[in-house]
Amino acid sequence: MKLASDQIAAVVLAGGFGTRVKHLLGNLPKPMAPVAGRPFLEWIVRYLAAQNIRRVILSTGHRAEIVEAHFKTQPVPKAMVSCVPEVQPLGTAGGFLNAIRNAAPQPPAWLVLNGDSLALASLGEMTATLEHPGISGAVLGVRLADASRYGAISQNAAGDLDKFDEKRPGARLINAGVYLFKAEAIRQFPQRLPLSFEMDVFPALIAAGARLKVCAAEAPFLDIGTPESLPLAEKFIRDARAWFAD
């Protein structure tokens, strides 16, 4: 399957409560944290547009109306953005399935990202990986000198995802929360709710024999989910303006 980036649609998971940074954001949902003059979530959409992924669905939850109002009144050039709210917590994979259920047309592949983190890596390797008939999906891994805050990726000799490891210190390849799935792989997701990618979907796919390629990158990475990391976002974005569509 020849796959061009503009054939891919993206879902950004932007429904979390942001408990650890709520005292810094007041009424705003965490992905709408103001960074360099725009909500952090908008920078993610602009990153996707720069990667030639123009169709973006935002899976919203806490204060969903704030997210929807922003993108209605301040649309992002070169991006077609829509919002699908969760009416109850569905888990990461459950929120994704809820977001794409009524999407039309259905694309040949779906990209999934978190709304509170960003890895500045080219998505070209992930896209190319899905052109191989035996590959069902791809997972982005980012090498960090200190992986203590994040789950790490374990892969087999062929470079396929084996499992996600527990958090522990040291230099490791972390799970960046960026996944690319062929459409047919999504039909193999477990049929239950709530549904987690890491705890439910990936173990089920691997047990069924699906191959999920790990694409490793040396890339700047930021997660805004803690009081210590959120203040770093301003410099992170300003130092990386070339990665975002104008």
pLDDT for residue 16 is more than 90: no
Segments making up each domain of the chain, as ranges: 5-243
Domain 5-243: give its CATH code.
Answer: 3.90.550.10
Query: If we measure between CA atoms, which residue out of 36, 46, 40 comes closest to residue 28?
Result: 40
Question: Which helix (H) or strand (E) segment is 241 a member of?
Answer: none
Q: What is the mean pLDDT of the chain?
A: 95
> How confident is the model at residue 1, as a pLDDT?
67
Query: pLDDT tens digits, residue range 22-55?
Result: 898 888 999 999 999 999 999 999 999 999 999 9
Query: pLDDT tens digits, residue range 132-185?
Result: 999 999 999 999 998 888 989 999 999 999 999 888 889 999 999 999 999 999
pLDDT for residue 224 is more than 90: yes
Query: pLDDT tens digits, residue range 189-202?
Result: 999 999 999 999 99
pLDDT for residue 91 is more than 70: yes
> How confident is the model at residue 68, as a pLDDT?
97
> How confident is the model at residue 166, as a pLDDT?
83
- The two three-digit tokens of residue 191, written as one number: 């049929």
The larger pLDDT score, comparing residue 22 to residue 118, is at: 118
Give dist(CA 80, CA 222) in Å, integer. Answer: 25
Q: What is the mean pLDDT of residues 116-129?
A: 97
> How confident is the model at residue 151, as a pLDDT?
87
- Residue 2 has a CB neighbour count (10 Å cut-off) of 8
Give the distance, in angstroms, between the CA of residue 4 and the centroid of all CA atoms in the same chain.
19
- The two three-digit tokens of residue 175, written as one number: 């799970």
Beta bridge partners of 142: 174, 217
Residues 211, 138 contacting (CB under 8 angstroms): no
